[in-house]
Amino acid sequence: MTNKSPVWHPFTQHGLEVPIPMVSHAEGCAIYTEDDRRIIDGISSWWVTTHGHCNPRIMAAIADQAQKLDQIIFAGWTHEPAERLAARLSALVPDPLHYAFFSDSGSTAVEVALKMALGHWVNRGEKRHRIVVMEHSYHGDTIGTMSVGERGVFNQAYEELLFDVATIPFPAAGKEQETLDALDAECAKGDVAALIVEPLLLGAGGMLMYPPHVLTAMAEVCRAADVLLIADEVMTGWGRTGTLFACEQAGVVPDIMCLSKGITGGAIPLAVTMATPRIFDAHYSKDAAKQFFHSSSYTANPIACAAANANLEIWEDEPVAERIATLGSRQTARLNHLSKLPGIADARQIGTIIAVDVEAKEDAGYLSQVGPRLKASLAQKDVLLRPLGNTVYVMPPYCTDQDDLGLLYDAIEAAIGDALKA
């Protein structure tokens, strides 16, 4: 044990003794280290930062709210920032997702969704307890969300704690019908409570993309079998896939929608699980035992809600959709060049997100030996990019301009060259 800091970092093997930079401040699409390096944030600081770091409108809303009400219990109490945010979200998401249940992270938003779905069937007196999930999916790191995610190195130490699920294959190109047939077969068994999916894009599973018509077809299968559909839009929401929510591209309205990350522009933790009246009404009763048993101390924190309201005002007042379209088209041009380089496979894009796989002699995946070589090279190039094994992806804030985007892609091209030489 040689690490001098008492901080235990997430998804970090401290035994490898990789230096961890100290960040002093951030602005726009860049973060700055204490030794005055300007680092272009190519992954929106783990997919959360949408409009850029320290957005003035969001920072002002946080500062203003901090002088009024910092925190209040939300069980049996309410406050204006939460009421305003819930009303605005209800008007923004597809009808009839009218009810907003607040929590504090993507994982808890999904955990809440799973409990809502299961509680819905229990309160109706129907024995539906199985959850259907998609191969390679990732929904978080709590016990429930790990249970509905891909089993492997991420959670193998906790296997004994995880509940059983039914897994359908990822709808790879040319094999989409296999996915639909598998879903239909599971739903036909009559005990499925819900299907949970990352719509159009599987994030931590390797930035895997599938077309909107597949999501549409999956929703139709669920509807025919009266199986609830949970859309995990924690990462795909807030414009990442080119539309405000990925489900829009498929014309799908889920029974439950999970939102987080960009809900506050990435400035402060907040999450919300949106539900239809069907889900809410199943928990509405004179019987206290049928209430929804979930909460956290910081549910609907007023400062976080104020940040989220400021984010929604930015979407309403500023040309965010145009920025997204411009960023997407600029990335398309760079991706076309990147895809022609030796050692590159499966170049792909959805909205403002691009990904490529670096061909390797070793096994692909999260623990591919290409990954550390890519990270080591990128760390020297003043960019924040975090490959998923042999998959390199870019998901920048919407304020990233042409010059900074060029630096990101130049760094990727050089890092891939370095990794393949090693």
pLDDT at 16: 86
Mean pLDDT on 364-383: 84
CA distances from 300 to 102, 103, 154, 273, 402 (A): 5, 6, 29, 12, 37
Which CATH number applies to 321-421: 3.30.365.10, 3.40.50.11540, 3.40.50.880, 3.90.1150.10?
Answer: 3.90.1150.10
Tell me the per-residue pLDDT of 185-220, one tens digit each, with 9 for 90 and over: 999 999 999 999 999 999 999 999 999 999 999 999
The total of other beta-carbon atoms located within 10 Å of residue 246's CB is 27
User: Which band of pLDDT confidence, cut at 50, 70 and 90, is reported for residue 287?
Assistant: very high
Tell me the per-residue pLDDT of 246-260, one tens digit each, with 9 for 90 and over: 999 999 999 999 999
The domains of the chain are located at 59-317, 321-421
Tell me the per-residue pLDDT of 14-26, one tens digit each, with 9 for 90 and over: 998 888 999 999 9
pLDDT at 2: 53
Q: State the Cα–Cα distance between residues 78 and 76, nearest whole angstrom.
A: 7
End-to-end CA distance of the chain: 28
pLDDT at 362: 64
Q: Decide if domain 59-317 falls under CATH 3.40.640.10.
A: yes
Tell me the per-residue pLDDT of 344-354, one tens digit each, with 9 for 90 and over: 999 999 999 99
Peptide bond into 10 cis (omega under 30): no
Tell me the per-residue pLDDT of 143-172, one tens digit each, with 9 for 90 and over: 999 999 999 888 899 999 999 999 999 999
Q: State the Cα–Cα distance between residues 231 and 219, nearest whole angstrom.
A: 10
Tell me the per-residue pLDDT of 58-97, one tens digit each, with 9 for 90 and over: 999 999 999 999 999 999 999 999 999 999 999 999 999 9
Q: Is the pLDDT of residue 320 over 70?
A: yes
pLDDT at 3: 57
pLDDT at 1: 45
What integer best gives the mean pLDDT of the chain? Answer: 95
Q: Is the pLDDT of residue 7 over 70?
A: yes
pLDDT at 322: 98
User: Which band of pLDDT confidence, cut at 50, 70 and 90, is reported for residue 422?
Assistant: low
Radius of gyration of the chain (CA): 21
Closest CA to 412 of 381, 390, 389, 371: 381
